Amino acid sequence: MTTHEAFLSPTPRTTVIRGRQRARAERSALLDVLRSARLCHLGVIVENVPRVLPTVFGVDPDGPDRAGTLYLHGSVASRSLIEAPEQDICVTVTVVDGLVLARSAFHHSMNYRSAVVVGRPRRVEDEEERIRALDAIVDQVVPGRSSHLRAHTRKELAATSVLALPLYEASVKARAGGPVDDDSDIAAGGVWAGVVPIGESVGSAERADDVEPHLVEPDHVVALSRS
């Protein structure tokens, strides 16, 4: 088992400059943000333009890379994934917890947790690690799902690129709490201020038409609407 730094080690490019009071250096805060999301936004430079794409991801806190591993996957034909290992990329995960309504437009804000991971990705070639990565990606979206599925086929594995990004070079920001208004605006009064909590709603599962009628919703599907 790899041991990991308890604290992130920000380099200049992951040092939070704006809103430094919102930076959280603890590795546990990074893992908390990653655990709370089903989706990340991947930044890759393609022809000198930053391209930002939503994609799923998986996390192995004990993965082989420094400070653990974040996994991405995609088609072997995906241009972003083809070009990614030749450059430093950025993966950002954002969780919105609330809308912060202040007395002035200027002090409006959001309560959120976000993580930015930067680094040179490694193309995963080892088959066992590739399978673990693909299962981690499925389980990030639907915890517990991968163990209910048949094994990946050789053809599926051949069609899929897997990239690994170390969790080492990362920064975490978070905001919580109510609006912070100017004293003069509080004194003037007359404007409602506060926080509106935001979260994810999970609807009732809709079974596919061709699922056998006797199959009940498995626990990992039922659990989604309870989380």
Restricting to residues 154-183, which ones interact with its own copies according to CB under 8 A?
156, 159-160, 178-179, 181
Among 64, 110, 144, 175, binds its own copies (CB under 8 A): 110
Return the biggest CA–CA distance within the chain. Answer: 68
The two structure tokens encoding residue 219: 């626990």
Q: Select the residue interacting with its own copies from 25, 61, 99, 175 (CB under 8 A).
A: 99
Distance of alpha carbon 4 from alpha carbon 67, whole angstroms: 5
Out of 1, 18, 21, 227, point to the residue binding its own copies (CB under 8 A).
18
> Does 36 interact with its own copies (rule: CB under 8 A)?
no
**Residue placing its CB nearer to its own copies in the complex, 31 or 46:** 46
d(CA 2, CA 139): 22
Q: Does 89 bind its own copies (CB under 8 A)?
A: yes
If the CB atoms of residues 6 and 196 are measured against its own copies, the closer one turns out to be 196
The answer to whether 114 contacts its own copies (rule: CB under 8 A) is yes
- Pair 130, 223: CB distance under 8 Å: no
Residue 213 touching its own copies (CB under 8 A): no
CA distance 208 to 106: 47
Q: DSSP string covering 17-44, please?
A: -TTGGGB--BHHHHHHHHHT-S-EEEEE
Q: Which stretch binds its own copies (CB under 8 A): 1-9, 26-34, 47-55, 57-65?
A: 47-55
Torsion, Cα of 200, 204, 210, 215 (10° steps): 110
Query: Quick check: 143 binds its own copies (CB under 8 A)?
Result: no
The whole-angstrom separation of Cα 153 and Cα 135 is 13
Question: Per CB under 8 A, which region of 1-9, 23-31, 42-50, 60-68 contacts its own copies?
Answer: 42-50
Does position 223 bind its own copies by CB under 8 A?
Answer: no
Determine the interface stretch with its own copies among 1-9, 24-32, 121-129, 130-138 (rule: CB under 8 A). Answer: 130-138
Instruction: Tell me how far apart the alpha carbons of residues 175 and 33 are, in angstroms, rounded to a whole number.
Output: 12
Contact segment (CB under 8 A) with its own copies among 1-9, 10-18, 26-34, 57-65 equals 10-18
